[in-house]
Amino acid sequence: DAGVIQSPRHEVTEMGQEVTLRCKPISGHDYLFWYRQTMMRGLELLIYFNNNVPIDDSGMPEDRFSAKMPNASFSTLKIQPSEPRDSAVYFCASSLYSSYNSPLHFGNGTRLTVT
């Protein structure tokens, strides 16, 4: 199994530009999570999906952030327009059923820098 795959690994963009982060979860996993990690705030849950349906998006910081999961093997996190304070490492993670009995599997993250 290739694990959770995220792209790109690094993204540098200018303020105001649109940024799209991509994630391919582990095949068969029905939960998908987007996290953001910063030195100031640690790991924060942004949104998660169950069977491609958004369940909890209360962690999405602003309307500038949106996430989609058009099918079981692909999800995107979009920031439009981007701002310097969005600079962080964004992780995608997936699990089978819920993490109640199943550990969470993380991708290697996308390091976003907004100048």
Partner 1 sequence: KQEVTQIPAALSVPEGENLVLNCSFTDSAIYNLQWFRQDPGKGLTSLLLIQSSQREQTSGRLNASLDKSSGRSTLYIAASQPGDSATYLCAVEGSTLGRLYFGRGTQLTVWP
Q: Which residues bind partner 1 (CB under 8 A)?
A: 4, 31, 33, 42-43, 45, 48, 50, 55-56, 91, 93, 98-109
Residue 35's beta-bridge partner residues? 45, 91
What phi and psi values does residue 98 have, to the nearest 5 degrees?
A: -120, 170
Burial of 111 (0-12, 13-18, 19+ CB in 10 A): middle
CB of 74 to partner 1, least distance (A): 18
Which of 105, 85, 88 lies closest to 21, judged by CA?
88
Burial of 46 (0-12, 13-18, 19+ CB in 10 A): buried
- Name which of 71 and 101 has its Cβ closer to partner 1: 101
CB of 92 to partner 1, least distance (A): 9
- Name which of 6 and 82 has its Cβ closer to partner 1: 6
- Name which of 50 and 73 has its Cβ closer to partner 1: 50
CB of 93 to partner 1, least distance (A): 8
- Name which of 15 and 43 has its Cβ closer to partner 1: 43
| Alpha carbon distance 50, 4 (integer Å) | 16
CB of 18 to partner 1, least distance (A): 24
